[in-house]
Structure 1
């Protein structure tokens, strides 16, 4: 162990640092892709490729340590060739899978893989490498059996360039962003393969010394291009996860460094004046309260470096708040808000889901987190569904600890992924959206109630006031013609008094609380008798029921329906006789009003003009109780049948 440490110390810091960066970067890229979606064959093969590269780089670094024993150095050098076989196998498998996810592998391919694995074991444990010379602890090697090395060379070349050829064929077939991603993978692997062959395999093939110690350095090109493709072109869809991880690691490193420096500085320079426990507590306090500011600073830095942040955060927040504060109608509020969000974030599309039944999939995605992007999804089916919907980010619109609704946005016009700052903006306004939508809904309900109340007053006034006033007008005409008829004036007086009573009920909204005390039938009978007096039309009223009807919740409406039917017959039909039947039939209240007048021509109750206020009023009143209306009118008269379910 001591010799290993001394050997590493003899290497230049740059040489060691580059190898360490390659190892860590490869491992991080692989694990992030795997963590994002463990079930995706692409992600699994990408993990295996990067882990194999990390191990290969680590072993090649160890192979160039000078102070180890010659036998150890020989074994490590053989191990580099063995790991090299694993690397080309994994690379070839990745080329077959990426980016289609599914590829059938033939029996011949499986035999080749088995043969290659056998060569890997042979390269590690068979004594095929000899010492060429030893100079100041530096050992150089040559193949003991050139034929074996040539076999190794051919197998490396077969799998490496075969994989490159597969990627090239896929590039020719693909289009758009997918093509660009594969191009970067193709370029990264081609450059690294050329580097390995030119620095190590080709010289050894012609009998020159190995150059294993610097073989791994070329991997910095591979890691660099792959990282660029991840950040710029969203390779493997791990850009946001990668940058969040970098920001988090930077923050932890800065926090740990500041903590250690602070404790060490105070301990060294102020240990005579300050208790060490106080120093530790103070440093812990600073670390705890500095966590969030450092996190925001790290996220902001990575956003500025790797995203096109072309909007002012506070200004964007003010614009969105202004939209939310002026929303009165929910549909207009959501449309205006989506328009503002698309303008700020340059999103192609977006939508609101305010009910779980509208889109259960998006609702389930959003309910367990503040926001989720397509790059953070693990299940392949979820990724496919979100892509098919043309969406990339889903935001939970919260209501306390529940999901009130969902805001979903599509891809950015630039092709960039959503940054941490974008998601923070959406998460900040999400609770405000909840309040704004609730307020708008309350205002809509209030407006609807006002409209309903106006319609109620208008309808009730039409059914009970206007019609009776019309009847009173006729009575007054008759009274004027027969001024000595005391009965006419008594009817006129009674009618006017009843009109005043009904008007008070309508205006004070007492119509919904009328108590019939089980005497609806008799109340309707009185209306029929009054109509007969007012219009001089014979009204025959009949009632058939097993018991007295107590229908306080619908009494006023039933009275208004009958009143309107009789008024229509009195004013327009020219009928001499009217028949009114009230009955209970199969759990329904059935009211039938028929006259022998001239009928109504071209009547279609499914498409009545607004001027038919009376008939429209009948239909609306019946609809309140889930009832049905049937009107049959011809030259022999009109029959109106109303059926309302009881209970």
Structure 2
């Protein structure tokens, strides 16, 4: 009788051990499966991220080519025609047979043509920054600040500290980022002053653009997915630089944007 009880206890103990082993095996299988699933999801996200980055890059390259073409056409064709018209107006203005009224009209037309020429130069420069290609990012940003200064009551301050030139692709991306932020400060923030700073650190490049405009609730915009084309374009260009974007803004306190670009080597 005692031996039979011992056998039953032994079988019961063995059954419990087997069940525990099965439970442990199931837990181990589940953990391995979860780990594999997470790994596959991360790999898929990496592939999707790389593909999305390639799409962004292709779209921006196409945009830059079109900007260059339109800018060249404006400068070479329309700009040349207006310059010729301005010369002809100057000749009419100097004509001794013209009446005072005719000279007044000619002077007015000449002024309109001159303003149109300046507008075309500004638009052409915005579309395709020749200064950037010829003289680099520092000169291009200072020139951009001068061009935009009249639009802000207290001007645009630009400070650039670059130890060495960057690749043209990086310089163009940073230039477009500053251009976009200046446009936002003018149209949306209604700022009176903007400060642009570009500093090269040992392992990174830090771009800061700050304005004293009316600001906005950035956290709410992010949570609601309400970012306009300007913010989306900004985020896309930052992503292509493998950079990080830090934006601080609140109502009536202005906006500060910092972009940190890692430097290899």
TM-score normalized with structure 1 length:
0.24
1:22-78 deviations in Å (ceiling 9; x for gaps) = xxxxxxxxxxxxxxxxxxxxxxxxxxxxxxxxxxxxxxxxxxxxxxxxxxxxxxxxx
Give the 3 Å change call, closer, same or farther, for CA 641–549 of structure 1 in structure 2.
Answer: same
Q: Matched residues in 2 for 1:603 and 1:645: separation? A: 25
Deviations 1:510-529 (A, max 9, x none): x9xx9746721111111111
Q: Paired residue for 1:585, among 191, 201, 208? A: 201
1:606–1:523 Cα change, 3 Å: same
Instruction: Give, in whole Å, the separation in 1 of the partners of 2:259 and 2:240.
Output: 13
CA distance in 1, matches of 2:63, 2:219: 23
Q: Secondary structure at the match of 1:598?
A: coil
* 2:174 paired residue number: 558
- Which among 223, 243, 262 is matched to residue 627 of structure 1? 243
* Residue aligning to 1:198: none
Q: Matches of residues 119-268 of structure 1 in structure 2 within 5 Å?
A: none
In 2, distance between residues paired with 1:590 and 1:487? 42
Q: Which residue of 2 aligns with 1:642?
A: 259
- Of structures 1 and 2, the larger Rg is shown by 1
2:118 aligns with 494
Structure 1 residues 517-556: aligned runs within 5 Å: 519-545=136-162, 547-556=163-172
Residues 542 and 487 of structure 1, relative CA distance in 2, 3 Å threshold: farther
Q: What is residue 92 of structure 2 aligned with on the other side?
A: none
| Residue ranges of structure 1 left out of the alignment (5+ in a row) | 1-356, 359-444, 466-482, 506-510
Paired positions, count: 176
Distance 1:608 1:534 in 2: 31
1:537 to 1:452, Cα distance in 2 relative to 1, 3 A: same
The Cα shift of 1:456 comes to 5.4
| Root mean square deviation of aligned Cα | 4.0
Does the C-alpha gap of structure 1 residues 451 and 644 become closer, same or farther in structure 2, counting only changes over 3 Å? Answer: closer
Deviations 1:511-568 (A, max 9, x none): 9xx97467211111111111113455511111224x2433323111111000011011
Residue 529 of structure 1: SS of its match in structure 2?
helix
- Residues 518, 549 of structure 1: 8 Å contact kept: no
Matching residue within 596, 609, 612 for 2:225? 609
Rounded to whole Å, the distance in 2 between the matches of 1:536 and 1:489 is: 26
Structure 1 segment 232-631 matched on structure 2, within 5 A: 453-454=58-59, 457=62, 490=114, 492-500=116-124, 503=127, 516=133, 519-545=136-162, 547-603=163-219, 607=223, 609=225, 612-631=228-247
What is the CA distance between 1:495 and its match in structure 2?
A: 3.5
CA contact (8 A) 1:517 1:552 kept: no
Change in CA separation of 1:502 and 1:633 when aligned onto 2, cut-off 3 Å: closer
What is the CA–CA distance in structure 2 between the aligned matches of 1:562 and 1:532, rounded to whole Å? 14
CA distance in 1 between partners of 2:237 and 2:56 (Å) = 16
Hey, what does 2:75 align to over in structure 1? none
Kindly indicate whether the alpha-carbon contact (under 8 Å) linking 1:516 and 1:551 is maintained by their aligned counterparts in 2. Answer: no
Secondary structure of the structure 1 residue equivalent to 2:174: helix
CA contact (8 A) 1:537 1:570 kept: no
Q: For residues 610 and 582 of structure 1, what CA distance do their matches in structure 2 show?
A: 29
- Between the aligned partners of 2:66 and 2:151, the Cα distance in structure 1 is 18
Shift of 1:602: 4.3
The Cα offsets for residues 455-480 of structure 1, whole Å up to 9 and x where unpaired, read as 65569989xx9xxxxxxxxxxxxxxx
SS in 2 for 1:526: helix
TM-score scaled by structure 2?
A: 0.53
Asked if the contact 1:579/1:594 (under 8 Å) is kept, the reply is yes
